[in-house]
Amino acid sequence: MRPSLLGGAWLIARKDLAIEFRTRTAFLAVLVFAVLGVAIFYFAWDVTAVPAMDLAPGVLWVIFTFSGLLSLQRSFGVEQTDRALDGLLLSPIDREAIFLGKALANFVFVAGIQAVTIPAVALLYNLPLGRTLPVLFAIALLAAVGLVAVGTLFSAMAANTRLAELLLPMLSLPFFVPVVYGAAQSTSLLVAGRPTAEAWPFLKMLIAFDLVFLTACTLAFPFTLEE
Amino acid sequence: MTSASVANDTPATHQDLATARPLFDWLFVVAVLAIAGAFVRAIFFTPIEALQGAAQKIYYVHVSAAISAYLALSVVALMSIVYLWLRDERADRLAESGGEVALMFLTVVLTSGPLWGKPIWGTWWTWDARLTLTLFLWFLTAGYLVLRGAIEDVAMRARYSAVLGIPAALLIPFIHLSVYFFNTLHPMPIVLKPAKPSLPNEMLVTFLLFVGAALLLCVALMRARYRYGVERDALRAIEGGER
């Protein structure tokens, strides 16, 4: 029986998450990288001259971008071993469902990193989050969708090339600019205690980015898999 | 063709390749002469702008390079779509040529801009909408060429680079939107605007000459690069390499 688009996507995502849950190596490594990055950034500025509160949004989003890249790298990297990708392609699942499943697994991975890093930044940079925390998590999830949509497509492409580790950041980072911009600007408005309504234009841009790139990358993905 | 017959044919076919190439790329020579002529006119026979002084003359190089870069990038975008549709390797080769020529013209835009910006704006660089957009077009074009260089398989290279064009085209409005929140320092269009061009006649002629010469150079370079691609692929076919 051929599973539906979302059913197939769920199967792929469950497979990837099961692999991750049983090995746990990548998640812990990326998590340590993220917190380590947050700590190192603190020493890159003179905190007596620039308040930690002004630095935090930028630090948060630069760290998310780089730890996101690390997790995306694995997404299709794991399918290279024993040419596991051929098995995926032979299975009665739509190509679009493979993409959505991979993207969903990456999304859960990145959201997991965010769930630990946001409180870590709040703690280490003394951010008075409190009531803004739910909105901040909403921004983080919106940004994660955009990062993951573009990153999953490029991860599939980069995995097949000679420069996989270098190519993924080189292709993805220009695409992360609108995401990082929207997320960091709205985060700094919230952290500064401005009303949520002021962040709305940036959130609208994030939502538009998510919709456009999730659709475009899902449609473009099957072209990368032809044999 | 079997590999044995390829081996037998090799010396003769190498010869064919060597003689097939025209000794004189007339279009390229004409384009270089046109560029030289446009420079002579811009430097010696065009009046100096009253407020900006000699620095204004960078305008001719800067804007015509930008127009040529857009032409080359349009070739990349159009040929990527054509490739995904028809799977014709000529479309892929044209896209490759367009990418390299676009990177060259974008580099000219990004270096001539700051040279003008320093005396006129008082700064080499500002994160203004158009500057940022051009910088990211440069990054995307460079990424496109690196991607091409990193894939051995010809069909896969063609598909992947064509696929990269789709999100890249969609990214441009978003980068524009991101920087739209800031005010722009960049001069508004002087020639291509709804009202009449506000450039004095002499300057307008120089400008149009420069644009014509730059577009000619753009086409000549893409043509030369395309021919090189044909020869390179033919050589690989003879050597029984990646194809």
Distance in Å, alpha carbon of B182 to nearest chain A alpha carbon? 12
Q: Lowest mean pLDDT of A1-15, A211-225, B2-16, B221-235, name the range.
A: B2-16
Flag whether pLDDT at B108 surpasses 50.
yes
pLDDT value at position B194?
56
Flag whether pLDDT at A197 surpasses 90.
no
pLDDT value at position B158?
92
What's the average model confidence in pLDDT over A133-144?
90
- Residue A80 confidence class, pLDDT cut points 50, 70, 90: confident
Domain containing A179 equals 5-224
pLDDT value at position B22?
65
What's the average model confidence in pLDDT over B201-227?
91
Distance in Å, alpha carbon of A1 to nearest chain B alpha carbon? 31
Distance in Å, alpha carbon of B159 to nearest chain A alpha carbon? 7
Flag whether pLDDT at A169 surpasses 80.
yes
- Residue B192 confidence class, pLDDT cut points 50, 70, 90: low
Across A154-163, B94-103, B152-161, the highest mean pLDDT is recorded for B94-103
**Which residues of chain A does B84 touch, with a Cβ-Cβ cutoff of 8 Å?**
223
Distance in Å, alpha carbon of B40 to nearest chain A alpha carbon? 39
Would you call B164 and A171 a contact, using CB atoms and an 8 Å cutoff?
yes
**Which residues of chain B does A160 touch, with a Cβ-Cβ cutoff of 8 Å?**
151, 156, 160
Flag whether pLDDT at B180 surpasses 90.
no
Flag whether pLDDT at B62 surpasses 80.
yes
**Which residues of chain B does A220 touch, with a Cβ-Cβ cutoff of 8 Å?**
163, 166-167
Flag whether pLDDT at B182 surpasses 70.
no
Q: Which of B136, B156, B159 sits opposite A174 (nearest CB)?
A: B136
pLDDT value at position B5?
41
Residue of B163, B175, B179 to mutate, testing the A interface (most A Cβ within 10 Å of its Cβ) = B163
Q: Lowest mean pLDDT of A48-52, A152-156, B75-79, name the range.
A: A48-52
Q: Lowest mean pLDDT of A17-21, A208-212, B144-148, B199-203, name the range.
A: B199-203
Residue of B178, B180, B182 to mutate, testing the A interface (most A Cβ within 10 Å of its Cβ) = B178
What's the average model confidence in pLDDT over A163-185?
88
- Residue B3 confidence class, pLDDT cut points 50, 70, 90: very low
Q: Are B234 and B21 in contact (CB under 8 A)?
A: no
- Residue B55 confidence class, pLDDT cut points 50, 70, 90: confident
Rounded Cα distance, B21 and B196, in Å: 46
Average pLDDT, chain A: 87
**Which residues of chain A does B134 touch, with a Cβ-Cβ cutoff of 8 Å?**
none
- ipTM computed for the complex: 0.82
Query: DSSP E strands: which ranges in chain A?
Result: none
Q: Judge whether B156 is closer than 8 Å to chain A, CB to CB.
A: yes
Percent of the residues in chain A that have a pLDDT greater than 70, as a whole number: 99
HEC per residue, B183-225: CCCCCCCCCCCCCCCCCCHHHHHHHHHHHHHHHHHHHHHHHHH
Q: Lowest mean pLDDT of A26-35, B38-47, B156-165, B184-193, name the range.
A: B184-193
Domain containing B93 equals 3-239
Flag whether pLDDT at B51 surpasses 90.
no
Flag whether pLDDT at A159 surpasses 60.
yes
- Higher-confidence position of A115 and A77: A115
Residue of A177, A212, A227 to mutate, testing the B interface (most B Cβ within 10 Å of its Cβ) = A177
What's the average model confidence in pLDDT over B46-55?
79
- Residue B188 confidence class, pLDDT cut points 50, 70, 90: low
Flag whether pLDDT at A168 surpasses 60.
yes
Domain total for chain A? 1
**Which residues of chain A does B162 touch, with a Cβ-Cβ cutoff of 8 Å?**
223
Distance in Å, alpha carbon of A164 to nearest chain B alpha carbon? 9
- Residue B23 confidence class, pLDDT cut points 50, 70, 90: low
Instruction: Compare all CA atoms of chain A with the CA of B146 and give the residue at the minimum distance.
Output: A167
**Which residues of chain A does B142 touch, with a Cβ-Cβ cutoff of 8 Å?**
170
Domain total for chain B? 1
pLDDT value at position B243?
44
- Residue B6 confidence class, pLDDT cut points 50, 70, 90: very low
**Which residues of chain A does B146 touch, with a Cβ-Cβ cutoff of 8 Å?**
163, 167, 170
pLDDT value at position B7?
44
**Which residues of chain A does B140 touch, with a Cβ-Cβ cutoff of 8 Å?**
174
Structure tokens at A163: 């420069």
Q: Judge whether B138 is closer than 8 Å to chain A, CB to CB.
A: no
